[in-house]
Amino acid sequence: MKSDKEKDTAKTADCSVGLANPRQLKCVLVTRFSALGDVAMTVPVIYSACRCYPDVHFVFLTRQSMTSIFINAPANLSVVGVNLEAGYHGLKGLRILYRELEEKYRFDGMIDLHDVLRTKVFRLFCRLDGKPVSTINKGRRGKNALTRRVNKVLLPLQSTRARYRQAFHRIGLPVESSFEGLYGEGHKAPSADFAAISAPKAAGERWVGIAPFAKHAGKIYPPEMMEQVVKAVASRPDTRIFLFGGGGNEAEILNGWAERYPQAVSLAGKRYGFPAELALVSHLDVMLSMDSANMHLASLVRTPVVSVWGATHPYCGFKGWRQQENDMVQLPMTCRPCSVFGNKPCFRGDYHCLRGIQPQAIIERLEKYLGKFT
């Protein structure tokens, strides 16, 4: 069994002629509803699977809000977004959704990349209909050993993308990695795709993305310390900064930075949409992100990512696609990681795993892509 040290880029196979399909599957339902980062991590696997099996139609079922990250999808992939709370609530609603999908696509197998109550119900429906199913092994025991306070086993676990691939393998569809990014060989979107956000990059100009927030406190570098990084980057006359975040308090902080540093532009709460923002991100020289969805989204368009890790750890299997080890900023603390998702309160009470990272340590990683700061 491969560890998380396995490289997603180690083998890039040309599967356009198709691999063996012993079950003779024609249409396969693949499920992953949340979270955004986890859904983003399915993209290299599902796109590779589509290329490996051009005669199989894959139907990817997720939340409506996440469908637009599947840019330049293969011809044999249908991405279906649903609002589970509004239209398909409860057991009855899931039964309705299952029948609607079965009637429209006539799928003859299911791959569950989520393994939660809703997808377990779907698996039951499939089994009752005689359809083969496969489920992700989340490796909960290993993650518990990695995050516990006593007798911690600090060893890298299998990557989530590898776990996704194994789920395909178990249904008889082994996947060879062939994903080259959402924009393919050119690796960058046309500048017209992000015209609503910015004019094209000028010659000699450097673009930096900064996404300083995450869902949980254990993954957020203190904003007052991150502002020091923003100030340093803004001191470079050839550099523009694009600030990524949500609404509310995040927008207030980022808009404040944009006011203080004219070279910074806040995208918080602007709702340009994933296609436009991903197109812009593909032109960045580097993205600075927490262990968050932005790390994964930037990876999908082959933009280098400098990521900051606090309560979580790359050993849990959630590092970005093709992200380099020396671009991950973290402290060697014996209590790390204390959480898989960063949602547990700090037992020390000070989040030293984040506050102990000096802004200069992050700036030095950015210099790899921007050159020395004066």
CATH topology match: 27-170 vs 187-370: yes
23: Cβ contacts below 8 Å, ≥ 6 apart: 109, 132, 171, 172
- DSSP-derived letter for residue 200 is P
Q: How many CB atoms lie within 10 A of CB 85?
A: 9
**Mean pLDDT throughout 255-280?**
96
> How sure is the predictor about 186, in pLDDT bands with cuts at 50, 70 and 90?
confident
> How sure is the predictor about 23, in pLDDT bands with cuts at 50, 70 and 90?
confident
| Residue with the larger pLDDT of the pair 3 and 369 | 369
- For residue range 201-236, what is the model confidence (pLDDT) as tens digits? 999 999 999 999 999 999 999 999 999 999 999 999
- For residue range 113-149, what is the model confidence (pLDDT) as tens digits? 999 999 999 999 999 999 999 999 999 999 999 999 9
The domain segmentation of the chain, as residue ranges, is: 27-170, 187-370
- CATH superfamily to which 27-170 belongs: Glycogen Phosphorylase B; (3.40.50.2000)
| Residue with the larger pLDDT of the pair 128 and 12 | 128
pLDDT at residue 17, rounded to an integer: 55
**Range from 10-19, 228-237, 277-286 carrying the lowest mean pLDDT:** 10-19
pLDDT at residue 185, rounded to an integer: 72
- Average pLDDT across the chain, whole number: 94
Q: Is the pLDDT of residue 71 over 60?
A: yes
Give alpha helix (H) positions in 66-192: 84-87, 90-105, 117-128, 140-147, 160-170
Q: Is the pLDDT of residue 9 over 90?
A: no
Q: Is the pLDDT of residue 15 over 90?
A: no
- For residue range 321-364, what is the model confidence (pLDDT) as tens digits? 999 999 999 999 999 999 999 999 999 999 999 999 999 999 99
Q: Is the pLDDT of residue 11 over 60?
A: no
- For residue range 291-315, what is the model confidence (pLDDT) as tens digits? 999 999 999 999 999 999 999 999 9
Which fold does the domain 187-370 belong to in CATH? Rossmann fold (3.40.50)
pLDDT at residue 8, rounded to an integer: 41
Instruction: In whole angstroms, give the CA distance from residue 8 to residue 45.
Output: 10
pLDDT at residue 85, rounded to an integer: 86
Element at 27 (helix H, strand E) = strand 27-31
- DSSP-derived letter for residue 315 is G
